[in-house]
Amino acid sequence: MKKSLLALAVLGAFAGAASAQSSLTVFGIVDLSVNSIKNGSTTIKSMDSEQLNSNRLGFRGNEDLGGGMGASFWLEAGFSPDVGAVGGGNGLATAVKDSTGTSYKTSDSAFFNRRSTVSLTGGFGEVRLGRDYTNTFTNVASFDAYGANGFGNFSKLYGTTTLGSGAGTVVRANNMVGYFTPGNLGGVYASLQLAAGEGVGGTSTAAGGTSASYSAFNKYRGARLGYAAGPVDVAVAMSQTDAAGGEKYKVFNIGASYNLGVAKILAQYDQRKFGAKKYTSYQFSTSVPLGQGEFRASYAKGNAEGGGTSADDASLFGLEYIYNLSKRTAVYTQYGRLSNKGASALSVGGAGVAGTASTGYGVGVRHIF
């Protein structure tokens, strides 16, 4: 009996040690707002999500492998709490035609559409595999006071600017292998990413049962290099994506920020090329803490060139105020105005109208768990 009790005690100790070496975290954000958006002569009042932060439900965990090494996973799904929908696109939808000439698209739905990765870490840094943010998106989001949400965020200009390439790597890429340097390099940080193209030489079947071949692209190569120490942060990123017609969709951006204490000043430059077309944009933004609140402002401008797009410019102005009710809950209000020229039809929300302004304002609440 004593031997049995001793054996159980030893097994319990080992089980406790094993559980202490690993962890699992459930996390998420719920963000909803009521907004009024005017595009051209049309005004739409609606409840929207993701105006302060992107909605998400996620699971992440890690295990201590010993010897300074660790393993981890990260599974994160987007969702729309205004309608209760979970998941979203993963960029895999490909326009194809069957033998009758009818066009259709393959499915692009995914549950863990925001991120699904597994990693090995150690003194060498981190090797990460799966669907993840691209280096070039991480760079622009890092130097925007808005992050990647809200009427005044920089992606309102560059986010839909694929220049007809069809590239699905503006924000994330699938099938990606990434390397991230360790955090003990005196402020220097860097990352490299390679993503395989999807569906090369594959076939897809239409509703009528007709099969058709399709050519896929989105093979991504990207790099990022930066330096952060004290109040200063500066980084540069570049990428190349195999896109439609065998052309390359190329992105280059550079950003910097300086924290004055009373305010954080951010600036960045972004250029995208595809064939003869080029879209160049820049942004200045600021974040000012005000007691329990925070004030944000941004101004951005986009310039189109080549391929008959030279008149299709746009500018963006945004204001936002956030009041933190607690560490996890905040209320906010915002205003944004995007002015289009020529055939540019960008908007702060909804379908833009070429050559006209898009304005929006609204109030919302965000809770983090």
- For residue 275, being part of any structural domain is answered with yes
* Pair of tokens at residue 74: 């990260």
How many domains is the chain built from? Answer: 1
Res. 107 pLDDT band, cuts 50 70 90: low
31, 364 Cβ separation under 8 angstroms: yes
Whole-prediction pTM? 0.86
- For residue 10, being part of any structural domain is answered with no
Could you give the C-alpha distances from 11 to 4, 141, 275, in angstroms and in order? 11, 48, 64
> According to the model, what pLDDT value does residue 197 have?
80
Tell me the three-class secondary structure of 321-348, residue by residue.
EEEECCCCEEEEEEEEEEEECCCCCCCC
117 CB-contact burial (10 Å; exposed 0-12 / middle 13-18 / buried 19+): buried
- For residue 3, being part of any structural domain is answered with no
- Which whole number is the average pLDDT over 56-71? 97
Cα–Cα distance, 267 to 127 (Å, whole number): 30
- For residue 2, being part of any structural domain is answered with no
Longest dimension (CA), the chain: 87
- For residue 4, being part of any structural domain is answered with no
Domain that holds residue 122: 24-368
CATH of the domain at 134: 2.40.160.10
CA nearest to 265, candidates 238, 297, 307: 297
> According to the model, what pLDDT value does residue 101 have?
53
pLDDT in tens, 125-178: 999 999 999 999 999 999 999 999 999 999 999 876 688 888 889 999 999 999
- For residue 224, being part of any structural domain is answered with yes
Res. 326 pLDDT band, cuts 50 70 90: very high
Who wins on pLDDT, 95 or 57? 57
- For residue 14, being part of any structural domain is answered with no
- Which whole number is the average pLDDT over 61-85? 96
167, 159 Cβ separation under 8 angstroms: no
Other residues' Cβ atoms within 10 Å of the Cβ of residue 93: 14
Instruction: Determine which of 14-23, 140-149, 285-294 has the lowest per-residue pLDDT on average.
Output: 14-23
- For residue 29, being part of any structural domain is answered with yes
Res. 350 pLDDT band, cuts 50 70 90: very high
